[in-house]
Amino acid sequence: MSRNASRPRRATPRRTDPGRPQPGRAGTTSQEPERDLSAAPLYSPARVRDLLDRHGLKPTKSLGQNFLIDGNILRAIAEAGGAAPGVPVLEIGPGLGVLTREIASRGAQVTTLEKDERLRPVLAETLDGLDVQVVWGDALDFEYATLPQGTRVIANLPYYITGLLLSRFMRAPGIVSATVLVQKEVGQRLAARPGEENYGFLSAIAALYGSVQHVRDVPKGAFLPAPDVTSAVIRLDFDRSRAAPEPEFLAFVESALHHRRKTLRNNLRLTGMDGDAIDAALSAVNLRPDVRAEDVSLGDLRDMAVKLGVIR
């Protein structure tokens, strides 16, 4: 991605909180009563609407732009994510800068990736005075391997790329945790164990890289505009002392869980594997020939992969 980074200049002393609109600025006419928003926090619906109005912006659905307007949720995410003095934090999608401000004002060293260039003037206003590096471009093009050791991801993710982003975080050796807002169903899938209703590939890779904690559910009303789905804050901790799973094993697990309700045998047959070899491996690992993929533990899948010669 273009490392077109910008760091809002450090604050010169201000009369009011940076990002606070001056009453009666652009957007009001002499006939309209002036709204004094200076006492309202940046995340309040009135301030968020005012920011959007003054900068002539409409949230873009295709970019997953649902902005947080609930102070309790903002504080809960920053807290659960471990935002603290000196901690390197990566945020995806600062939007209007509301969560970014919450994290940076706790002293964390924030790098934030934003694709929507229309937000440049907004972030210049709302992040003024904070030590935040804004990187403009697509988060899917970012080199996550370059992040420093001990990086914590804290983000209200654009939901349309949640799975892709989580898999980038898992594979980046410097990232130790990701505390993220996701769709509630995605959170349930991440936290599910073999045999549970929502267990699938996402649950398996999360478990291969570490552990998952459900922090809290988040109602639709915590966002402006309100999304169609309920959300949840999830914290993933990555255990970097473990050897990273082999790409061949990840591909095997993905194939094994491709159709969760099918038998493991049928899923593996779909990859072109020999039926007799699969039967022999199932028997050697003491699994029933008709065991369903979603009921098989990761340990048993690893043993199967070894018996089938996928990994050593």
Ligand X SMILES: C[S@@+](CC[C@H](N)C(=O)[O-])C[C@H]1O[C@@H](n2cnc3c(N)ncnc32)[C@H](O)[C@@H]1O
Residues lying near ligand X in the complex (CB under 6 A)? 63-68, 92-96, 98-99, 113-116, 138-140, 156, 158, 161
| Structure tokens belonging to residue 124 | 């210049």
Is residue 138 marked as binding? yes
Q: Residue 278 belongs to what H/E stretch? A: helix 275-284
For ligand X, the closer CB: 154 or 207: 154
Give the residue ranges of DSSP H helices in 18-156: 45-54, 71-81, 98-104, 120-126
Spatial distance between the Cα atoms of 5 and 45, rounded to a whole number of angstroms:
29
For ligand X, the closer CB: 51 or 304: 51
Is residue 239 marked as binding? no
CB of 141 to ligand X, least distance (A): 8
Coil, helix or strand at residue 191: helix
For ligand X, the closer CB: 68 or 130: 68
CB of 73 to ligand X, least distance (A): 9
CB of 69 to ligand X, least distance (A): 8
For ligand X, the closer CB: 158 or 200: 158
Coil, helix or strand at residue 304: helix
In the 8-state DSSP scheme, what is residue 119? G
Coil, helix or strand at residue 112: strand
Coil, helix or strand at residue 38: coil
CB of 286 to ligand X, least distance (A): 45
For ligand X, the closer CB: 96 or 281: 96
Q: Residue 232 belongs to what H/E stretch? A: strand 231-238
What is the phi/psi pair of residue 91, to 5°?
-115, 140
Which has the closest alpha carbon to 130: 150, 110, 115?
110
Is residue 114 marked as binding? yes
Task: Tell me the residue number closest to ligand X, measured at CB.
Answer: 93
CB of 66 to ligand X, least distance (A): 5
Q: 109-114 and 88-92 as β-strands: parallel, antiparallel, unpaired?
A: parallel
Is residue 267 marked as binding? no
CB of 35 to ligand X, least distance (A): 21
For ligand X, the closer CB: 103 or 301: 103
Is residue 266 marked as binding? no
Specify binding-site residues: 66, 68, 93, 114, 138, 156
Please give the annotated binding residues for S-adenosyl-L-methionine, written as ranges: 66, 68, 93, 114, 138, 156
